Amino acid sequence: MTKFLEVKNLSVSFPTEDGLVKASNDVSYSVDLGKTLAIVGESGSGKSVSNLAIMGLHNRATTQISGSAFLNLDESPIDVISAPEETVRRLRGKVMSMIFQDPMSALHPYFSVGNQIAEAWSLYNEGSKRDGMKRATEMLDLVGIPSAADRVKDFPHQFSGGMRQRVMIAMALVNNPKLLIADEPTTALDVTVQSQILKLIQEIQKEFNMAVILITHDLGVVAEVADNVCVMYGGKIVETSAIDEIFYRSQHPYTTALLESIPRVDQFGSHRLKAISGQPPSLIGLPKGCSFAPRCQFVSHVSGNRCTTEDPELTEKAKDHFARCFLSTEQIHSLTGRNVKA
């Protein structure tokens, strides 16, 4: 069945003085209207780079991009990777929109928030400045900013971090996009505000039936909001499945390590979180073998030095559950103790 966004074999590389940085390496994922896909991984794993490619935000002259990303629009599908830049520019902000980690750098300090939202609206709508400000007020109201009619004239610095992120969401959604890519939208915020913002995105998603990609380094935040998860490591997807499968029956040692680093309410105070020791791999001239091998505690359970000589393929380990590891399902579940009835 076709989904609204279908990314296939997407690779993004940057030629640099030190060599070719393979930031995103043959990644495939999809997300449908009304659904949320979480993309999880450590810093530098290629989460943003893949999604910036979908938004057409890389410099095509200096970036090597291959693969495809189809937006299955009612009229006809468009591959945003091969489409002319002008076509992608027209889709951006209208059909697909992105919100970023740091709203302060995305908002202009010298214009009122209303002005900036109205400006984004006027790119795709006919109407006066007044209509634009009216729409901006509606949007601020929608994202839960109290006294929206008064605050529409305020400047970004007059808002708290959480409120600024709400303004960014209002701006991203002003033209009713079908796909929203939220790139670490809550990282800079405290825990309570984080969960409010995620709830807000979820509510708006339901109301407008949007496809949402939520990028985060924190597997803990996705449990309540995502339908499916892709775990990225060293520019590649190492595991992908429905949310419960990942949480209860993870099939990759990196994911299980991430899961063990999530604070658990029932272990509060007595449980030391396990950090994943070692460094992420260099993305220039990847070594032979599995990229996770230098940090993996289960290398010795795979026979014949395979982990250090052969790169595992992403294989279907259970229905719609793919992982990139030589361990069998039985092995990984007995080693990690993860085969819990959901």
Ligand X SMILES: Nc1ncnc2c1ncn2[C@@H]1O[C@H](COP(=O)(O)OP(=O)(O)OP(=O)(O)O)[C@@H](O)[C@H]1O
CA 315 to CA 321: how far, in whole Å?
8
Asked whether the beta carbons of 80 and 74 are under 8 A apart, the reply is: no
Tell the smallest beta-carbon distance from residue 254 to ligand SF4 (Å). 6
Of 11, 25, 45, 48, the residue at the interface with Mg ion (CB under 5 A) is: 48
Is the CB of residue 293 less than 8 Å from the CB of residue 238? no
Q: How many residues make contact with ligand SF4 (CB under 6 A)?
A: 13
Residue 91 CB burial class (10 angstroms; 0-12, 13-18, ≥19):
buried
CA 65 – CA 62 distance, rounded (Å): 10
Angle at 194 between CA 225 and CA 94, to 5 degrees: 65
Count of residues that interact with Mg ion, criterion CB under 5 A: 1
Coil, strand or helix at 9: strand
* CB nearer ligand SF4, residue 67 or residue 312: 312
201 binds, among ligand SF4, Mg ion, ligand X, none (CB under 5 to 8 A by kind): none
For ligand X, the binding residues (CB under 6 A) are 14, 16, 21, 23, 41, 43-49, 217, 283
Q: Are 145 and 200 in contact (CB under 8 A)?
A: no
Q: Is the dihedral of CA 95, 96, 99, 104 positive or negative?
A: negative
Token readout for 158 is 């007059």
The residue type at 224: E
Q: Which is nearer to Mg ion, 187 or 339 (CB)?
A: 187
Query: Which residue in 5, 27, 29, 14 sits closest to 79, CA to CA?
Result: 5
Q: Decide which of ligand X, Mg ion, ligand SF4, none touches 49; Cβ closer than 5 to 8 Å per partner kind.
A: ligand X
Judged by CB under 6 A, the chain residues 301 through 330 that form the site for ligand SF4 are 302, 307, 312, 325-327
Q: Which stretch binds ligand SF4 (CB under 6 A): 107-115, 140-148, 184-192, 287-295?
A: 287-295
> Nearer to ligand X by C-beta: 167 or 181?
181
Partner from ligand SF4, Mg ion, ligand X, none binding residue 98, C-beta < 5-8 Å depending on class:
none
Site for ligand SF4, residues 14 to 43, rule: CB under 6 A: none
Among 41, 46, 162, 253, which residue interacts with ligand SF4 (rule: CB under 6 A)? 253
Binding-residue pattern over the window 93 to 122 for ligand SF4, x denoting contact by CB under 6 A? ------------------------------
Binding residues for Mg ion (CB under 5 A): 48
